[in-house]
Amino acid sequence: MEKIIDNIHIKRIGYFNLYLIKGITGDILIDTGFICMKKKIKKWLDKHNVKLIILTHAHIDHIWNTNYIQKMYNCEVAISKIDIKNIDNKNIKTKPLNKLTKYWTNLMSLGMNKFKAKPFNINYKLKDKDEINKYGIKLTIYSLPGHTNGSVGIKYKKYLFVGDALVNRFKVTRAYQNQNPKEAKRTVQKIKHINSDIIFLGHDKYITRDKLLKDLK
């Protein structure tokens, strides 16, 4: 099912959230999902006009279909300059948030090392405070390192897309596994200071600013 907030289209497929911002002359897709999602993604995107893909980070479950979508719709791709080296997943070694998430972290690391996305063309190498103004859509990029060294957030109007920098399960917290735990802590504080009403996450239900501040006192 597709949910629409303002001109943001939200597509949840299994455990994954994909976001598409509708523009005047084209649309911007945030992340491309994982294996076995290709047919459902195509059916969804055929109704839109995707011109640009922005990848929040280089984990395989967020970049798997990038090559396919780029070729299918002849669109451009943007990713953090820092996370380019993480695309093949060999350099991503994550540490658990705590003892309770150690098993999950090891399982995810094993899975990520087994898969490798097909190469795709990178048109934009993103860095902190970059601005993207295309198709009638104005975005600001924020560096949100921690989950991966090159994770980024995308600010659009009063909305912020943070990929896996945060999770929202029992309560809002930083990711269960991080490439750089110290940076992940700093990123949480940075997100709290970015003026946004709604924060969209890579896997979980979006959160309001009030919930963010309540859970992350």
Q: pLDDT for 78-123, tens place per residue? A: 999 999 988 876 556 666 566 555 555 565 666 666 678 899 999 9
Return the CATH number at 60.
3.60.15.10
pLDDT greater than 90 at residue 217: no
- Structural domains in the chain (count): 1
Cβ-Cβ contacts under 8 Å for 90 (sequence gap 6 or more): 113
Quickly tell me which residue has 């859509």 as its tokens. 137
Structure tokens at 45: 């995107």
Sheet holding 131-134, edge to edge: 131-134, 137-143, 152-156, 159-161, 198-200, 207-208
Rounded Cα distance, 80 and 122, in Å: 10
Q: Which domain holds residue 77?
A: 2-215
Q: pLDDT for 23-67, tens place per residue? A: 999 999 999 998 889 999 999 999 999 999 999 999 988 999 999
pTM for this entry: 0.92
Radius of gyration of the chain (CA): 16
